[in-house]
Amino acid sequence: MNQILLITDGGSNVGDSPVIAAAQAYADGIVVNVAGVVDEGSIGEYGATEIAEIARAGGGMSRIVSSRQLSQTVQMMTRQTVVGTIQQAVNQELRHLLGVDSVAALPPSKRAEVVQVMEDLGETATLRVALLIDASASMKPKLSAVSEAIRDLALSLQSRAGDSAVAVFHFPGDSDREPCVMDASWMDSTARIEALFGRIRMRGTTPTGPALLRVVEFFRETCGKIMSEPVQPSSPNRRDDTDGVRSDYVV
Amino acid sequence: MITSSEKQQLPPGTILSGKWNGRSYRVEKLLGIGSNGQVYLVGSGRSTYALKIGNETAELQAEANVLASLDRRERGRPPFLLDVDDAAVGGREASFYVMQYVPGVPVRSYLRQHGEQWFGVIGYRLLKRLAELHAAGWAFGDLKNDNILVGSYGRVALVDFGGMTAMGRGVRQFTEIYDRGYWAAGTRTADPGYDWFAFAVLWIHVLDGKRLMNLTRTLLPQNRHPRELLALVRTNAALKPMEPWIERALEGRFRDTDEARELWRAQLQAAQGVKGGEAARVPGWMKGLFALSALLCASAAAFWLLK
């Protein structure tokens, strides 16, 4: 299972449309989630719409949160996406084999077995999450929260029974030809993350689209042929994923 | 954070009719709100039960699976899980499962009503319950004040099994201030040590909640460390005597949960000895209570074995 998690605080302003880039990612089997971080003021209508659109095109979910909530939001989105991906695959099988729409349509005794299988899949499947961090100037005060969220996510992923990996990118890159920079490739240790952001040079532009495409390319290069596009979600429960009310994270 | 549809509470008197198994339940009152559903006290016939209802069918089923697996493993007691079904609520279908109703109050409220000196017995019983779960291959995961109900004479019951995780897997649900990972003291992989850590934080939370909350608010993420928790323990009169035990728990240094329990008891006795004169009256009945609980335990075991 492959995911991209975009952490940003506003709209893109350079290069290709990030919405199209996210659609491209989803076509390659990578779900795109977006966390919009806003501490003061608002993200603006343009930014908020774009964030929601990127997630929708990327088959994922979006949330607009404060730095304090970032850590748990990132965890929740990652986990919900795993559950959602498996649920989709399982529902498809159920439709195919039994002609029912979802797990909920099965009698509880059958449901128990299917859910058991889903839990096992969710825990043991290989999971790769590429984090794409907006490092434009306005993000500077939020970077410590971002770094904490990454550390926390890596910790949870390491605790899974299945293989997990995290890669970290930030954008914009150092030159105009380079939309984003890789800070860490698939790594199994969290130790390096603390040091990651020391090197980042904050610059003005926000080439979200080109950066997203670059990360999709990275998936292609490192993970070989990626699985084909997941079936378009038709179940109503995925549609409300962007409205900010689902969560299974308890505080 | 809960689903908007879950914010709506079911009014008392609502009848939930099971679609598959045909049993129906009458809502009496709301007991609590969990991460993926609400728990109600319900009546059916002349009995009362606890019923958890929500829209996340798969998640509720996963919790029911855990209860069912505990019931299979721990035969000889009344089952926890009594029914799993769906019901129409306000035109939408929701899933629910029905459990034994456990009367009781969270640890903190219990100590407020009956006195802090109860914490030893409650802790001891809790470790005993955790030892059973661990022996069955599970970590409880989301151990916290709200999930531990204390009944008469310090009897404890764990409720809300949403965090219960098979050993070796990532803990399914946790609460930040109780989480070993949050305090940079280890992974979130389910193992006995994960519960010991939360158990130690529980007592800090229960006996010195204000300072713990203040600490979590003010501490920078990079400074989170178990030594910060120990600093609280050292400067709290009720916790100080338990410091050696708490330190071991935070560092995961017990062979198993039975050892943790034995050492808890030994530490309590040592603490009582230190207090001397003023507390002389307390150890007497405390010991009596221990003897009684041991006797109860032995007779329950004998009963169970003979059966």
User: Are B242 and B141 within one domain?
Assistant: yes
Three-class secondary structure of residue B15 per DSSP: strand
Reply yes or no on whether the pLDDT at B106 is more than 80: yes
Tell me whether residue B194 is exposed, middle or buried, using C-beta atoms within 10 angstroms of its C-beta: 0 to 12, 13 to 18, 19 or more: buried
Domain boundaries, chain A: 2-73+127-232
DSSP assignments along A40-80, one per residue: SS---HHHHHHHHHHHHHTEEEEEEE-HHHHHHHHHHHHHH
Neighbours of B252 (CB within 10 A): 17
Q: Are B145 and A250 in contact (CB under 8 A)?
A: no
Q: Are A141 and B169 in contact (CB under 8 A)?
A: no
Q: Are A34 and A78 in contact (CB under 8 A)?
A: no
Return the CATH fold of A2-73+127-232: Rossmann fold (3.40.50)
pLDDT at A245: 40
Instruction: Report the sign of the C-alpha dihedral through residues B132, A108, B54, B61, in that order.
Output: positive
User: Are B43 and B152 within one domain?
Assistant: no
Q: Where are the alpha helices (DSSP H) in B165-306?
A: 192-218, 226-234, 243-251, 257-275, 281-306
Q: Which of the listed residues B100, B130, B155 is the one where a domain comes to its end?
A: B100
CB contact under 8 A, B181 and A156: yes
User: Are B37 and B180 within one domain?
Assistant: no
A225: Cβ contacts below 8 Å, ≥ 6 apart? none
Reply yes or no on whether the pLDDT at B161 is more than 90: no
User: Are B157 and B296 within one domain?
Assistant: yes
Best of A79, A111, A142 to disrupt the B interface (most B CBs within 10 Å) is: A111
What does the block give as tokens for B102?
A: 């456990």
Half-sphere exposure in the Cβ direction for B220 (13 Å, CA): 4
Q: B50 pairs with which residues across the strands?
A: B41, B99
Q: Quote the minimal CA–CA distance from A19 to chain B in Å.
A: 27
Q: Are B232 and B214 in contact (CB under 8 A)?
A: no
- Taking the CA atoms of residue A202, residue A208, residue A210 and residue A214 in that order, the dihedral angle to the nearest 10 degrees is 80
User: Are B207 and B263 within one domain?
Assistant: yes
Q: How many domains does chain B contain in total?
A: 2
Reply yes or no on whether the pLDDT at B68 is more than 60: yes
Q: Is A116 on the interface with B (CB under 8 A)?
A: yes
pLDDT band at B303 (very low <50, low <70, confident <90, very high): confident
* Tens of each residue's pLDDT in chain A, 251 residues: 999 999 998 888 888 899 999 999 999 999 999 999 988 777 778 888 999 999 999 999 999 999 989 999 999 999 889 988 898 888 888 888 888 888 888 888 889 999 999 989 999 999 999 999 998 888 888 888 998 899 899 899 989 999 999 999 999 887 777 888 888 888 655 566 666 666 666 767 889 999 999 999 999 988 865 544 444 444 444 444 444 343 344 33
Looking up residue B206, the CATH number of its domain turns out to be: 1.10.510.10
User: Are B197 and B116 within one domain?
Assistant: yes
Of B84 and B33, the one with more pLDDT: B84
CB contact under 8 A, B84 and A112: yes
List pLDDT tens digits, range B181-216: 999 999 999 999 999 999 999 999 999 999 999 999
pLDDT at B274: 65
Nearest CB among A103, A118, A248 relative to B36 is that of A248
Looking up residue B87, the CATH number of its domain turns out to be: 3.30.200.20
Q: How far apart are CA A106 and CA A85, in angstroms?
A: 19
Single-letter residue type at B238 = A
Query: What percent of chain B has a predicted confidence (pLDDT) above 70?
Result: 92
Q: Which of the listed residues B54, B71, B100 is the one where a domain comes to its end?
A: B100
List pLDDT tens digits, range B241-266: 999 999 999 999 999 999 999 999 99
Q: Is A185 on the interface with B (CB under 8 A)?
A: no
Q: Are B252 and B189 in contact (CB under 8 A)?
A: no
List pLDDT tens digits, range B48-63: 999 999 988 998 999 9
Confidence (pTM): 0.82
Q: How far apart are CA A86 and CA A117, in angstroms?
A: 10
Q: Quote the minimal CA–CA distance from A13 to chain B in Å.
A: 33
User: Are B78 and B190 within one domain?
Assistant: no
Q: Is B168 on the interface with A (CB under 8 A)?
A: yes
pLDDT at B119: 95
Single-letter residue type at A102 = S
Least confident of A97-101, A193-197, B163-167, B297-301: A193-197
Residue bearing tokens 């099971």: B18
Reply yes or no on whether the pLDDT at B276 is more than 80: no
User: Are B162 and B243 within one domain?
Assistant: yes
Single-letter residue type at B254 = F
Q: Are B93 and B86 in contact (CB under 8 A)?
A: yes
Reply yes or no on whether the pLDDT at B149 is more than 90: yes
Residue span of the structural domain in which B69 resides = 4-100
User: Are B188 and B264 within one domain?
Assistant: yes
Q: How far apart are CA A171 and CA A38, in angstroms?
A: 18
Q: Is A161 on the interface with B (CB under 8 A)?
A: yes
Which one is catalytic: B83, B85, B86, B142?
A: B142
Q: For B287-296, what is the mean pLDDT?
A: 75
In the sheet with A2-8, reading across from the earlier edge strand, the strands are A59-65, A30-37, A2-8, A127-134, A164-171, A181-187
Q: Cβ contacts (< 8 Å) between A152 and chain B: which residues?
A: 181-182
Q: Which of the listed residues B56, B81, B100 is the one where a domain comes to its end?
A: B100
User: Are B130 and B84 within one domain?
Assistant: no
pLDDT at B222: 85
Does B179 participate in catalysis according to the annotation?
Answer: no
Q: Are B49 and B42 in contact (CB under 8 A)?
A: yes
- State yes or no: ipTM above 0.85: no
User: Are B93 and B123 within one domain?
Assistant: no
- Taking the CA atoms of residue B139, residue B140, residue B143 and residue B149 in that order, the dihedral angle to the nearest 10 degrees is -150
User: Are B181 and B264 within one domain?
Assistant: yes
- Of the candidates B201, B227, B226, the one whose C-alpha atom is nearest the C-alpha of residue B107 is B201
pLDDT at A232: 46
A20: Cβ contacts below 8 Å, ≥ 6 apart? A57, A209
Q: Quote the minimal CA–CA distance from A161 to chain B in Å.
A: 5
